[in-house]
Amino acid sequence: MVAAEKVALVTGAGSGIGRASALRLAADGMTVVVLGHRQESADEVAAEIRDAGGTAVPVAADVADAAAVRDVVRRVEEELGRLDVVVANAGVNGVWAPVDEIEPEEWDATIGTNLTGTFLTLRYTVPLLVRQGGAVVVVSSINGTRTFSNSGASAYATSKAGQVALARMLAVELAPRGVRVNVVCPGAIDTEISDNTEQRNTERLGVTVEFPDGEIPLTGSEPGRASQVADAVAFLVSDGASHVTGTEVFVDGGQSLVV
């Protein structure tokens, strides 16, 4: 099926990697459901898509809220009649602190958005995806998969490792039903997510690591761009990746090989 006939849902699409992915999939011709945490941010990204000649439906929901996610998917079914692509991107850095200082509710908040939110997104979209087959991309991280040197990030890293395990399980489960499931693992990317990170007393947790010149082999001190992650997302949901499932793609300029 050509991209122009496909419908994509992107969570966390109000900024960063989600926004870049929504713009890229729309540029490829898909109708994009722009799911943001706030309606205002979803509207802004949808307007960008429309200004560029694309089609977008802005919606707002907390991905950790089962009823809210279910309602969004029902709206997709009622208004668009199908769903071909899901990009489960919504996430937070949350609180980074020594494990004996993280409050249970802080742990729950990070796991709830990053891991439970991914589960809920897939739980409610799979019934639409399997009707004609489709593709899922889960946005994880190098943290918790290849890299464990970010002091105090135990909740975040655990949530990201869990996303990869979930994606691999679903890749096997959904393959006979025509749905592919893959993961992108970004490294340092120039987005706003770090602005929402709370770090407490992490300076005493670090273990000295000797870096080569330039933390990111490909770009030195320059972080990657959200659009570069979106390029990987676009490939994984395309027909060019029709025999690819259960795979992680690291979009980090080689960072996780040296950190």
- Domain-wise residue ranges, the chain: 7-257
Q: Is residue 156 among the annotated active site residues? A: yes
Q: Which of 96, 119, 156, 250 is catalytic?
A: 156
Q: How far apart are CA 48 and CA 53, in angstroms?
A: 9
Q: How far is CA 229 from CA 50, 84, 97, 185, 187, in A?
A: 22, 20, 28, 9, 10
> Encoding tokens for residue 69?
């996610």
Does the pTM exceed 0.95?
A: no
Which phi and psi (to 5°) does residue 215 adopt? -65, -30
9, β-bridge pairs: 33, 86
Question: For every one of its 259 residues, what pLDDT tens digit does the chain have, with 9 covering 90 and above?
Answer: 455 689 999 999 999 999 999 999 999 999 999 999 999 999 999 999 999 999 999 999 999 999 999 999 999 999 999 999 999 999 999 999 999 999 999 999 999 999 999 999 999 999 999 999 999 999 999 999 998 988 889 999 999 999 999 999 999 999 999 999 999 999 999 875 555 656 655 566 554 444 444 578 888 888 899 999 999 999 999 999 999 999 999 999 999 888 7
Question: In CATH, what number does 7-257 get?
Answer: 3.40.50.720
